[in-house]
Structure 1
């Protein structure tokens, strides 16, 4: 997930972790089978509920894909190290007959976070770093706005989203084409909220923590992920590099929701934030990873992670979703994992992932039952993945779904498709003031955070170019006097987005000219100067 409007999805991820059911029934759950009864604080499972839920799962997935319009999905269920279910549904790409199967590779978006946290846990167990290791010595040249915070900031702080960085810090730099090094170096300009007491979901905050760990290990993050996790688990189709994803013939295309239908219109290259959103995998590989988490760091008899080091990641460290009423359960965040409780009283671990450009994913683990479920889809976030996982676990816990989960999650995620920008819902002025001559806008404009902007005028059109080599561009349209309109594009700009560019012209004594691009000004960093 790499959206500047990400916080609500975090709430939904926590919501998914809180509301999923719990499961267990012989012969699928050795842990509960060996006990005479469920714990006193847990709802007893209906007899045969696991088998019944597995039997209903194909129809559940097919129905949710049909109702949502999502083109394809793959789903897996694991009990401890036993793969109970792995199956694909639908097609990899609209307009192509190639079917999704259990080997189809998907971009998992923010499910990369708990996977990456597992990589970090291996390094904690190997003595390379600790969750409480300060990151400053490991990241030369990378600081935050407050020197006191920079000195005390740890790997765990960044993996718990409690650094004080604002929500989605750095995502706007990725949107216009900058790479990881530039983004991490410029987080120093982001305003900070109170340290360790504020939860703000930040892809590049977590990426900062991962980069510190990789530096401590003397390896690139992508190589470290291979060596420490993917290869030992036999996750042969999993990678943290986009090039490896596109090298697979059996891969799912992204499908964005446009005018109510899913279209394979975009690509999403998340290498800059790979530790937070750049993993690609299939459900068979992810079942192995879930088994490792269920096994408290041990898989196939080999201990990759000491139980205490993984427990640190799967324990709550900050409230991520405060309850809106006394009757509601809160959602917490560990180190890369959403941690919640459910009606049964059992703890759940989980995470969702989303690209509005075309991916929706979810997994949930019920550790007490040794059960994990993962759903990967190739459609933008409409709640399909969450609904598949939650309905399955409802059937396990209660024998039937407790509500229409697709409708519930779809409504909660609908904001992702709301157009962005201050002019999106504004009608054009009836009597606009005359705009300045376009030639007055031309030239190079400076910004410490975003870098230079070039405004070029040709053929009666003013074009703004941002990012490396001016690769992100848009045209300015007169709106009202010194205010122009432009259409932003990318992960953070659904169809219909429209934002303002406001020009203020001064003299040298007044500090020169200013250009404020509202779409890029969420943290008051979106003003460029000239002269």
Structure 2
């Protein structure tokens, strides 16, 4: 990206081209310089070592900015080449790949997954899982726990930690990374790949013009480019996110281990809404309510989510359709919100644990503008 020195600030040529025509959803001013200032103010907080941010307008990435440092107490600044864990923002990318496979006739969204690949543990303990389909996985109604190692099963069930179990009846809403992991194994079988080669399959199904800024598994380049995660402002020095004790960085994790930055991810969303990956029918299914968020849940009450499409949450809004996803690996947090099928939206990632507040701040800005 070409960069110009203007009024003492580094401002991308891309940002200048769109600055005059972008307005907030309520038609208030959305000033890019003020947005940049707001982001810079956030990294003055101990809980926000750095932020990577990108703005989408009419399916174009019109603004991006990074601020802060790779690691607290050190002075190395982040750049537009810095890589972050985007946590559960991995799921919409994988969901897009699954929908492409469905369009190709390789996978039926409504065929029980066990008919492709049985889940051996559950075959022995709870065959209710046999009702689970790809559509149920992508809309979080599989009945699986989020992660077997972290979701504590009922004591009455006498289940040893780490053993797979059914948290709910298939068809009930249960947000689950474990289910995505199962669907990934099905995709591996259908594409003759494994945990070390599925990355190539996903990259071919969902090609993102990334300038080598997309990583599903460890690459030596990440040692120099990846930000350090933080909790309460303190570096965790954790190299790779894990969902199981035996996870290794060379094994793909479609539910939460994608590494990239906000601008690159925003290009994925822009291409998705523009129909570059899946056809209009698949996109409509992806963005149509497939399951309801429980009314007594935190997401319903606090985040105003009403349901899930296929891999993306759907929210209530006075400004029209609202599509949302968050990501939380603890020491890396992320999120996006897109309104009106790409009319206006944002992506952010931080290498700290203050992501929920940042997500609400950026939502407020694109709704009501910069002050």
TM range (shorter): 0.7 to 0.9
**Where does structure 1 lack aligned partners over 5 or more consecutive residues?**
1-23, 30-42, 174-182, 299-303, 401-531
Q: Matched residues in 1 for 2:25 and 2:47: separation?
A: 35
Partner of 1:101: 79
CA distance in 1, matches of 2:301, 2:234: 37
The aligned counterpart of 2:222 is 247
1:62 maps to what in 2?
Answer: 40
The answer as to whether partners of 1:64 and 1:388 remain within 8 angstroms in 2 is: no
Report the equivalent of 1:138. Answer: 116
Is this contact kept in 1: 2:199–2:252, CA < 8 A?
no
How has the CA–CA distance of structure 1 residues 87 and 287 changed in structure 2, closer, same or farther, with 3 Å as cutoff?
A: same
Which position in structure 1 is the counterpart of 2:168?
A: 193
1:229 aligns with 2:206: yes
The TM-score with structure 2 as length reference comes to: 0.79
Q: Which consecutive aligned stretches of 4+ in structure 1 deviate over 4 angstroms post-superposition?
A: 170-173, 323-330
Inter-partner Cα distance in structure 1 for 2:290 and 2:65: 35
Per the alignment, in what secondary structure is the counterpart of residue 137 of structure 2?
helix
What corresponds to 2:308 in structure 1? 333
Flag the 1:321–1:248 CA change in 2: closer, same or farther, 3 A.
Answer: farther
328, 338, 350: which one pairs with 1:354?
Answer: 328
* Range 158-167 or range 380-389, more displaced: 380-389
Q: Deviations over 1:115-139 (max 9, x none)?
A: 2111212212222213223211222
The answer to whether the 8 Å contact 2:89/2:326 transfers is yes
CA distance in 2, matches of 1:203, 1:327: 22
- Maintained 8 Å contact 2:129/2:166: no
Q: 1:362 to 1:100 in 2, by over 3 A?
A: same
- Is the alpha carbon distance of 1:172 and 1:340 closer, same or farther for their aligned partners in structure 2, counting shifts above 3 Å? closer
Q: 1:82 to 1:368 in 2, by over 3 A?
A: closer
Mark the structure with the bigger radius of gyration. 1
Q: Are the counterparts in 2 of residues 360 and 379 from structure 1 also a CA contact under 8 Å?
A: yes
What's the TM-score, normalizing by structure 1?
Answer: 0.56
Quickly say closer, same or farther: Cα 1:332–1:392, change in 2 above 3 A.
same
**Any idea what the Cα deviations from partners look like across 1:310-356, whole Å, max 9, x if unmatched?**
22222222222415799985531222211112132x11111111122
Task: Report the CA distance shift for 1:171/1:210 in structure 2 as closer, same or farther (over 3 A).
Answer: farther
Match in the other structure for 1:266:
238
Give the Å deviation of 1:143: 5.5
Question: Closer, same or farther in 2 for the Cα pair 1:294/1:141, shift >3 Å?
Answer: closer
Deviation for aligned residue 1:28: 4.4
Unaligned runs of 5+ in 2: 1-17, 153-161, 243-248
1:385 Cα offset (Å) = 3.4
* Number of corresponding residues: 331
